[in-house]
């Protein structure tokens, strides 16, 4: 791994962490496209790497800051986390069998759909 690659990965991680902490969006919205377009990863590699980041509790300090200010519903967190674990497993079973191009299109469509809903929704 080269120094420019390390610097780029640090910038991607810093940006993803900042966006996640400030906007509450998953780092995947930043990490996945950055790895595909800036690092040349396949969609599968980008998604797998993004999920690998979540294995380590990287957002703990951000979540703790929200918790300290009364903005975390622990009961909801526990239920969502359990469902997220199962959903992540089932989703990965499907995704690894999809062609890279199709997976990229599905990812892009979901991000577009979410952004349109946020911009034009009630």
Structural domain including 96 reads: 3-120
Burial of residue 1 (number of CB atoms within 10 Å: 0-12, 13-18, 19+): exposed
* pTM (two decimals): 0.73
Instruction: Mention every residue, 6+ apart, whose C-beta is less than 8 A from residue 106.
Output: 98
CB atoms closer than 10 angstroms to residue 68: 9
Residue 120 has a pLDDT of 93
Q: What's the total number of domains in the chain? A: 1
Residue 106 has a pLDDT of 92
Q: List, for residues 58-103, the tens digit of each pLDDT value.
A: 778 888 999 999 999 999 989 988 888 888 889 899 999 999 999 9
pLDDT band at 40 (very low <50, low <70, confident <90, very high): very high
């Amino acid at each position: 791994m080269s120094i420019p690659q390390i610097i780029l990965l640090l910038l991607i991680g810093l940006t993803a962490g900042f966006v996640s902490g400030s906007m509450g969006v998953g780092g995947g919205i930043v990490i996945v496209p950055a790895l595909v377009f800036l690092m040349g990863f396949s969609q599968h590699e980008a998604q797998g790497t993004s999920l690998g980041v979540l294995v380590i509790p990287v957002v703990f300090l951000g979540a703790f800051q929200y918790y300290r200010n009364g903005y975390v519903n622990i009961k909801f967190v526990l239920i969502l986390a359990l469902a997220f674990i199962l959903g992540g497993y089932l989703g990965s079973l499907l995704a690894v069998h999809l062609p890279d191009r199709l997976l990229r299109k599905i990812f892009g469509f979901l991000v577009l759909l979410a952004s349109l809903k946020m911009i034009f929704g009630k």
